[in-house]
């Protein structure tokens, strides 16, 4: 009985050490980072939003249409380039993925979701983004938990811990 009682704390300690070891290998990002959007040609500041499930990008003129009998979305993205501080505007067309209801302090908002490529650190990811008018927001892009789970950890005491560099990964998506 004494041996079993002694083993339990040892097993718990071993599990914690393994967990800490796995976490130590993950890259740590700040609550604000720079990300590049290869399909748009811009590097912008993004806010890591652990309260949001899905990432979001500033988009206007959102229009759904049919292309070869498939649902598509046309929209205009306007982001400030973090290197030049100049606005970059580009109209994109992407396959429609789904529609979501977002509940917030301002009420319920129905948003279209599309897949976009984003480079954060050395990770090139194809992720879901809701299209939302974020004109009055400080950051044109929010990174939600769906995207963060592919990245690593977020340290809210840090900012700009990495620079986007996915030159080695561009052919992989």
Please give the domain boundaries of the chain with CATH numbers for all domains.
Answer: 27-159 (2.40.70.10)
Give the separation between CA 6 and CA 48, rounded to whole angstroms.
Answer: 42
Higher-confidence position of 56 and 19: 56
Least confident of 20-29, 91-100, 133-142, 156-165: 20-29
Question: What is the DSSP-derived secondary structure letter of residue 136?
Answer: T
Angle at 53 between CA 105 and CA 37, to 5 degrees: 110
Mean pLDDT score of the chain, rounded to an integer?
Answer: 85
Per-residue pLDDT band for 20 (boundaries 50, 70, 90) equals very low
Is the pLDDT at 5 greater than 80? The verdict is no
Dump pLDDT digits (tens) for 117-126: 999 999 999 9
Dump pLDDT digits (tens) for 41-78: 999 999 999 999 999 999 999 999 999 999 999 999 99
Cα 37 vs. chain centroid, distance in angstroms? 11
Give the separation between CA 150 and CA 139, rounded to whole angstroms.
Answer: 21
């Amino acid at each position: 009985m004494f041996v079993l009682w002694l083993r339990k704390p040892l097993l718990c300690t071993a599990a914690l050490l393994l967990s800490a070891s796995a976490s130590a290998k993950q890259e740590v990002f700040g609550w604000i980072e720079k990300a590049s959007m290869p399909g748009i040609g811009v590097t912008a500041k993004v806010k890591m939003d652990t309260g949001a499930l899905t990432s979001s990008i500033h988009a206007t003129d959102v229009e759904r249409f049919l292309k070869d009998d498939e649902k598509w979305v046309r929209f205009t993205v306007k982001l400030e380039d973090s290197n030049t501080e100049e606005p970059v505007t580009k109209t994109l067309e992407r396959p429609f993925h789904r529609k979501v209801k977002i509940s917030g302090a301002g009420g319920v908002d129905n948003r279209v979701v599309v897949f976009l490529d984003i480079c954060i650190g050395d990770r090139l990811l194809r992720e879901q983004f809701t299209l939302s008018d974020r004109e009055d927001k400080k950051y044109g892009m929010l990174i939600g938990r769906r995207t963060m789970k592919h990245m690593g950890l977020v340290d809210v005491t840090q900012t700009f811990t990495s620079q986007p560099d996915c030159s080695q990964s561009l052919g992989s998506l």
